Structures are given as C-alpha cells and as structure tokens.
Amino acid sequence: MSSLPPDARRYLHRMRSLEPPIDFVDSVMAEVESTPQVRALIDLRALVGLGVAAAAVVVVAVLLQLVTSPSIEPGATPTPLDQLPSAGQVDARYQVEVDDVPVAFGHGFLWLTNAATGELIRLDPANGSIATPVQVTEPGRTVPIAVSAASVWVADRRDASLVELDPSSLEERRRLPVGIAVDAIAAGESDLWLLDRAAGELVRVDPAQGAATLTVRAFGTAVLVHGGSVWLVDGLGELTRIDLASGEETGRLDVGIAAARIAPDGDSVLVVGASDDPVVRVDIGSMRVLARGQPVRAVDAEGGRVWAVLAGSDLVGLDPVTLQPVAALALDPTASGTLAIGGGFLWATAIDAAGDAYLLRVRPQP
C-alpha cells in the first residue's frame, strides 16, 4: 500500500475492519429462499409419471424456452463440431506477419492492422497482393480504423490526430487534430465517432467540417454505428445506445459479459466478450437479449449469416436464432482468433507450429 496517499490508505484500512450487519446472512437467505433459480432446461425427470401427451407439451415448452430464454452460459453443444456440415473450405493461404489482424473490408480490399508495428496493411483479395504497409501510428498501439464510403480513416497517437487516407493510393488526404488518444473509430453515414477509453470520451467528428462537433462522456471498450444509433460496450457488461444527433443515451442493457467487441447484424448487434464469455445477440429496437451462444474468439456477420472462430480453432457458422454452431471447419494451422468478412470470403489468421502466420481465405458453403 506504499504507493497510496495516506488519506486513501487510512480509508481502505478502515474498510478492512468493517463487518456486515449481524443478521446479514439471514437476510440474504430469506430472499434466496423465495428466489427461483434460472434453469436453461426443465428437468425432464420431474415429468416421470405424466402421460405421453403431457410430456410432448413439455418438450415443446423446453424447445421454446431454449429459443426465447437465452442463458448466461450455454448448455452443451447439441452436435459435436466434427459431425456438423462443413462451413466452407480454405481456398487460399497468404503468409503475413504474426500480429496482422484482418479488421475490415471496403473499397474492394481487405484491411489489416498490426498493433506491434502500428501499420495498416491493404490486401487485394483477388490475388493476395499486399500494398506496402503504411505506418499510421506508433508501434505497440492498437490501430483504430474505419472504412467509410469514400475513405479509410485511422488514428495516429503520435500527434493525437485523425487521418484520412485515399483507399486507392494510400496517400494521406487530411490530418485532423482531435486532441485525444483514439482507441476505436466507428463510421456512420456522415460522421465518425472516436472513442478514448482512458479518458472516457466519445467524440463525434464531422469530416465535411473537418472538426469535432460533440463530445459525450462515455466509458467503453468498443464502439459501433448501426441502425441509426451509436453503440458502446464496456468491460463491465453494459451495452449503451446513444442518439446520433444529440449524443443522449437512449438505452442501456447489462448483457452479462465482459464485452470487448461489437458487430452489426441486421436488426441486432452481436456482443463478444473478452475471454470465454458467450456471444450475445441484442435487438437494436427493444434492446432485449435475443440469444446467447457459446464462447467465441471472433465473430462477424453479413447477409443474415453469422460466422465465428472458436477457442479450439474451429471456424463455425452460427444459427442466426440460437447462435449455436450449425456448420464447422477445423482451421489448419491453428486459428489465432480473428475474423473478417468481405469479397465473398471469410478471412481468418492462423499460426503454425513454427510460429509463421498466415491469412486464410475461406470460401463459405452457400
């Protein structure tokens, strides 16, 4: 405790001596006794003795519950992955740097970033050719990127600026000083939203004006513009919906996982945890949890299809309703937990036993 100022040290020391009220456990248990536990599945053993018709009704109820009542953690996977239909096939493999991560697809290119070097990499999906990597920020930093209709935007921590790049030439068009350490960028139709995690700021930038137009006080780990709102998730499990025009909070939901990433999917957003938390689908209108799947390392969605990379190196197609795997492909070499969709392909990175990294181009099964 030596690094704490004396006042704070005394405060915490005082806390160590506190005890809960003497009847505290009784009080907790009184409420526990009257609180039913949530069960993902009805215990079918309780139905022994009932007639066949009644059992059938219960089975239907169980199935409905599985669909409509998502669980904090999913039950056992109904079908082993190796017995599922193939999710697709790897039809090309490109050697990349270990820290290259596919993050976006746009303007006909796959865009990768490398946090170790602070570089942006552009890959042509047609032939796998890589343009000369562009140093966009300092090494050792996440490279925030957003692809808008006309440009690619990155943030440069070296001078706290937002940089507009020409996607074709990769030349810098503009450099806008924003004065914050940008951790993530989300592109809307006409604005960009910049997240500074440490400062707890979400800044809206109007590229037409070349200036910031709004600052929202908001803590989060990832940001997304989707369905007419800004979406923010944080490591304590909250999903916040923010009005694009006013910056006012219009909804908040505890999704129950330590959220690290968020992806758009039609009328929903998919929230992914930092470690082994399940992927969660949330309806963007009602802000109701529609489904909880199993833990994933990366997820992306396009055209109503949801794809994910699991911890065991499997690339899986997820049922859009239940978020359970319905197709699988064991990636070889071992997947490193990244995924992007674009150009008709799924893109994932993998590392072999020798430590060489590859970008895998997967043609999904129709």
Partner 1 sequence: VSGSREERRLSALVERSKRGDTAAFEELTVAHSADLFRLAAAMVGPDDAADMVQEAFVMAWRELPRLRDVDRWESWLRSILMNKCRNALRTRSRRPRVVLLEPDRHATVRHLTHEPMREVDNRWAMHDALGSLRPEDRAVIVLHYLADLPLRQVATVLGLRLGTVKSRLHAGLQALRAVDQEDKLA
Closest distance between partner 1 and the C-beta of residue 30, in Å?
10
CA-to-CA distance for 85 and 365, rounded, in angstroms? 9
| Amino acid making up residue 357 | A
For partner 1, give the closer residue by CB, 249 or 319: 249
For partner 1, give the closer residue by CB, 149 or 198: 198
Closest distance between partner 1 and the C-beta of residue 347, in Å?
24
How long is the chain? 366
Residues linked to residue 307 through DSSP beta bridges, in sequence order: 300, 317
DSSP state of 132: P
For partner 1, give the closer residue by CB, 95 or 275: 275
The greatest distance separating any two alpha carbons of the chain, rounded to the nearest whole angstrom, comes to 75
For partner 1, give the closer residue by CB, 38 or 53: 38
Q: Phi first, then psi: what are they for 262, rounded to 5°? A: -145, 140
For partner 1, give the closer residue by CB, 56 or 67: 67
For partner 1, give the closer residue by CB, 203 or 341: 203
| Amino acid making up residue 164 | E
Contact 83, 355 (CB under 8 A): no
CA-to-CA distance for 11 and 13, rounded, in angstroms? 5
DSSP state of 127: T
CA-to-CA distance for 287 and 265, rounded, in angstroms? 14
Q: Note the residues at the interface with partner 1 (CB under 8 A).
A: 1, 3-8, 10-12, 14-16, 18-21, 24-25, 27-29, 31-33, 35-40, 71-73, 179-180, 197-201, 212-219, 221, 235-237, 246-249, 254, 257-260, 273-275, 277
Closest distance between partner 1 and the C-beta of residue 240, in Å?
9
CA-to-CA distance for 327 and 16, rounded, in angstroms? 52
Closest distance between partner 1 and the C-beta of residue 130, in Å?
28
Closest CA to 52 of 40, 42, 60, 64: 60
How distant is the alpha carbon of residue 51 from its chain centre?
46
Residues linked to residue 211 through DSSP beta bridges, in sequence order: 206
Q: Phi first, then psi: what are they for 65, rounded to 5°? A: -65, -40
Closest distance between partner 1 and the C-beta of residue 200, in Å?
5
Closest CA to 192 of 168, 164, 219: 164
For partner 1, give the closer residue by CB, 33 or 189: 33
Closest distance between partner 1 and the C-beta of residue 40, in Å?
6
For partner 1, give the closer residue by CB, 109 or 219: 219
Closest distance between partner 1 and the C-beta of residue 203, in Å?
8
Closest distance between partner 1 and the C-beta of residue 302, in Å?
27
